[in-house]
A = this chain, B = another copy of it.
Amino acid sequence: MQNAQPSHAIGVFDSGVGGLTVVRALMDRLPFENIIYFGDTARVPYGVKSVATIEHFTQQIADFLRAQNVKMLIIACNTMAAVAADKVREASPVPVLDVIEAGAREAAKRTKSGGIGVIGTPTTINSNAYARAIHTLEPKYRVYSQACPLFVPLVEEGWVDHPVTRMVAQEYLRPVFVESIDTLVLGCTHYPLLKPMLLDVTGSRMELVDSALAIADQAADLLAEQGLANPHRGRPDYRCYVTDVPVKFQTIGERFLGRSLGKVELVSL
């Protein structure tokens, strides 16, 4: 593969459609960058798989994107970031960003009390990756983590502001509320869609950190620093690869992306 060039695309990948919230944030923050998205929709979700399987699948996807000559890799899936980010970095000649590191940095920057809450899928929470990332930045911060396994299916059902979803959020956040935290990291790419409801449930108790916005800022800084920002001011090229096109893929994908998905190409790894 070639070295990173400013005209090359940013490669973003996820186990499914969730990472499109990261693409959405990148499109808004970096409107001249070409973006290639890869969603492993045939094998989603990763959150219930073993470490060995997740590492293997992650490497396959990173290899696929490197073969497309991307100038930067963004791991938009919290599960892959938790389990396999180090392995991807080791083998990568281009910068690798991941949502966990981005969310941890943003939370560490924002907290005043030093008490940070993290919500995510069971695999992300069990991996303890957010706590490790936050403690690498600042060992004295307290991190309280809470798995919210029903949030992803609720978002995919479209119940983003349904009474059931509020009830589930209240149940999951009850133990978080008794900890004295002032910053809550949305540690799953599906959760930005729940943000209005979560803002309502958490009220003024805490600030929410959206990893998708955080990683878009981080990508912008890094491209500027390394002279890798695309100088071309035209309409960028967006490509979307998936390993399966399931029922309602277009609908759900567009809900995450907040706009038309365009052409989706099917590939197998």
Contacts and interface: CB of A to CB of B under 8 A. Distances in A.
Interface of A: 41-45, 48-50, 53, 122-123, 126, 149-150, 152-154, 156-157, 159, 163-164, 167-168, 171, 244-248
21 contacts: A42-B43, A43-B43, A44-B48, A45-B45, A49-B244, A49-B246, A50-B245, A50-B246, A50-B247, A126-B247, A149-B156, A150-B153, A150-B154, A150-B159, A150-B164, A152-B153, A153-B153, A163-B167, A164-B164, A164-B167, A167-B167
B149 A153 contact: yes
Contacts of A45: 45
A260 to B, nearest CB: 21
Nearest to A43: B43
Copies in the complex: 2
Contacts of A171: 164
A120 to B, nearest CB: 13
A49 B123 CA distance: 22
A225 to B, nearest CB: 38
B153 A246 contact: no
A158 to B, nearest CB: 10
A156 B126 CA distance: 16
A53 to B, nearest CB: 5
A145 to B, nearest CB: 15
A254 to B, nearest CB: 16
A49 B248 CA distance: 10
Contacts of A41: 48-49
Contacts of A53: 42, 244
A42 B156 CA distance: 21
Contacts of A159: 150
Contacts of A154: 150
A42 B168 CA distance: 28
User: Which one of A43, A45, A167, A247 has the greatest number of beta carbons of chain B within 10 Å?
Assistant: A247
A246 B126 CA distance: 12
Contact of A247 (B122, B152, B247): B122
Instruction: Kindly list the 9 A-B residue pairs having the minimum CB-CB distance in the complex, ordered from nearest.
Output: A153-B153, A48-B246, A53-B244, A50-B244, A149-B157, A49-B244, A164-B167, A49-B246, A150-B153
A227 B50 CA distance: 42
Contacts of A49: 41-42, 244, 246
A159 B44 CA distance: 23
A171 B165 CA distance: 13
